[in-house]
């Protein structure tokens, strides 16, 4: 296993279309394992092969339990050649990306989707996802076409995350103000 370097939005490889996987071998399974480890190390909930410079259709999704709605189950998947075959509803939410560190913005996505693809051994998989998990799937599948969330962000919603020390400073000032 290895932690891979995540490409950032200034790298033109992120804008290229990925190729369909036709060879389901040990190398593909190793890449999937490395993607999982890289995503976890970076505190992400999803990652795609193009984000580490591999232009193949492979994504990893790992949404922790209760991240979406209280009581919702966690969801983990590695999907090869994923495609959205059904979508319904709309939702609006803030997104970020491991390849666009520190930036966030509002993106309109489908609320419910069905994804078809294959596992790392080539067996067919069909996944139904809703809410935040559906957002993660759509975000990662976009990467396979060279699309970044910043291409889809609603006008005037893209913003840089507040630095941690600014956030702590604001919190302290708030608490001091409450005690006076």
pLDDT in tens, 133-145: 999 999 999 999 9
Q: Identify the pLDDT of residue 57.
A: 98
**Residue 17 belongs to a domain:** yes
> Which residues constitute the domain of residue 58?
12-179
Q: Which of 15, 53, 32, 31 is nearest to 145 (CA)?
A: 15
Q: Give the tens place of pLDDT for each residue, 149-158.
A: 999 999 999 9
**Residue 83 belongs to a domain:** yes
Rounded to the nearest 5 degrees, what angle is found at the Cα of 42, between the Cα atoms of 138 and 158? 55
Q: Give the tens place of pLDDT for each residue, 17-40.
A: 999 999 999 999 999 999 999 999
Which range (1-5, 30-34, 82-86, 119-123) has the least confidence? 1-5
Which position among 54, 140, 165, 174 bears the catalytic label?
140
pTM: 0.87
* Max CA pair span of the chain: 67
- Cβ pair 127, 114 in contact under 8 A: yes
Pairing of the two strands 100-109 and 159-160: antiparallel
Residues 6+ positions from 30 with CB-CB distance below 8 Å: none
Total domains, the chain: 1
What does the alpha-carbon distance between residue 132 and residue 112 come to, in Å, rounded to a whole number?
Answer: 9
What does the alpha-carbon distance between residue 121 and residue 175 come to, in Å, rounded to a whole number?
Answer: 54
Whether residue 174 lies in the annotated active site:
no
**Residue 6 belongs to a domain:** no
| The pLDDT of residue 178 is above 80 | no
What does the alpha-carbon distance between residue 82 and residue 104 come to, in Å, rounded to a whole number?
Answer: 25
| The pLDDT of residue 110 is above 80 | yes
Annotated binding site: 97, 139, 143
CATH label of the domain that carries residue 70 = 3.90.45.10
**57 SS3 class:** coil
What does the alpha-carbon distance between residue 130 and residue 93 come to, in Å, rounded to a whole number?
Answer: 13
**Residue 167 belongs to a domain:** yes
What does the alpha-carbon distance between residue 85 and residue 113 come to, in Å, rounded to a whole number?
Answer: 8
Report which DSSP code applies to 68.
S
Specify the DSSP element, H or E, that contains 173. Answer: helix 164-179
Annotated binding site for Fe cation: 97, 139, 143
**Residue 2 belongs to a domain:** no
What does the alpha-carbon distance between residue 140 and residue 58 come to, in Å, rounded to a whole number?
Answer: 9
**Residue 3 belongs to a domain:** no
**Residue 105 belongs to a domain:** yes
Q: How crowded is residue 173: how many other Cβ atoms within 10 Å of its Cβ?
A: 10
């Amino acid at each position: 296993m290895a932690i891979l370097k995540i490409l950032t939005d200034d790298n033109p490889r992120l804008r290229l279309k990925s190729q369909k996987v036709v060879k389901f071998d040990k190398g593909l399974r190793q890449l999937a394992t490395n993607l999982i480890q890289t995503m976890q190390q970076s505190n992400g909930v999803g990652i795609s092969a193009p984000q580490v410079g591999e232009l193949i259709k492979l994504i990893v999704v790992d949404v922790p339990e209760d991240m979406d709605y209280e009581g919702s189950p966690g969801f983990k998947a590695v999907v090869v050649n994923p495609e959205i075959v059904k979508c319904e509803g709309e939702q609006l939410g803030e997104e970020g990306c491991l390849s666009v560190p520190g930036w966030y913005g509002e993106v309109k996505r489908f609320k419910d989707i069905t994804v078809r693809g294959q596992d790392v051994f080539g067996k067919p998989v069909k996944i139904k996802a809703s809410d935040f998990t559906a957002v993660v799937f759509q975000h990662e599948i976009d990467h396979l076409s060279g699309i970044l969330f910043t291409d889809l962000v609603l006008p005037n919603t893209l913003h840089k995350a507040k630095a941690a020390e600014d956030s702590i400073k604001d919190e302290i000032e708030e608490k001091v103000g409450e005690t006076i």
